[in-house]
């Protein structure tokens, strides 16, 4: 598991609390998906990954999704730029695309 997944307020913590269960003990903490995938391949570990990893991850076909419902995890996202610095045109274009893609999410719609 990654450290944010076991922090207070994470979907995993909220779900286990709601069910009256103890939080699972993490044997390994790390943010690296290759590390997680390597541990999963041994058959002795479980992990929690974002839905985007299940949909778009390079090794998504190797993952088995367990039938567990977790509450949505709303995380704030910000774009930070340096003051008095012009963005390159490619960066501006990318930010415009990100904003367009994120707009439905501001209104509670799933994409």
| DSSP secondary structure code for residue 48 in this structure | -
Alpha-carbon distance of 104 to 75, in angstroms, equals: 15
Q: What is the number of structural domains in the chain?
A: 1
Q: Which domain holds residue 56?
A: 3-62
Is residue 92 a part of any domain in this protein? Answer: no
- Over 70: is that where the pLDDT of 108 sits? no
Please determine, for residue 111, whether its predicted confidence score (pLDDT) is greater than 80.
Answer: no
Question: pLDDT per residue over 51-107, tens digit each?
Answer: 888 888 888 788 888 887 777 777 677 788 889 999 999 999 999 998 888 888 777
106 domain residue, yes or no: no
Please tell me the distance from the alpha carbon of residue 30 to that of residue 4, in angstroms, as a whole number. 10
- State the Cα angle at 100 between 94 and 105, rounded to 5°: 125
Res. 25 pLDDT band, cuts 50 70 90: confident
Distances (CA, A) of 111 to 62, 100, 104: 24, 12, 7
pLDDT, mean of residues 2-26: 80
Q: Assess if residue 108 is contained within a domain.
A: no
């Amino acid at each position: 598991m990654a450290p944010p997944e076991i922090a207070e307020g994470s979907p995993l913590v909220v779900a286990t609390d709601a069910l009256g269960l103890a939080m699972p003990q993490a044997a390994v903490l790390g943010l690296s998906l290759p590390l997680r995938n390597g541990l999963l391949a041994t058959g002795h570990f479980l992990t929690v990954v974002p839905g985007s990893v299940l949909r778009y991850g390079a090794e998504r076909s190797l993952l088995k999704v367990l039938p567990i419902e977790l509450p949505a995890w709303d995380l704030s996202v910000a774009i930070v730029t340096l003051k008095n610095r012009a963005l390159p045109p490619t960066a501006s274009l990318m930010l415009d695309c990100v904003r367009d893609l994120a707009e439905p999410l501001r209104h509670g719609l799933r994409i």
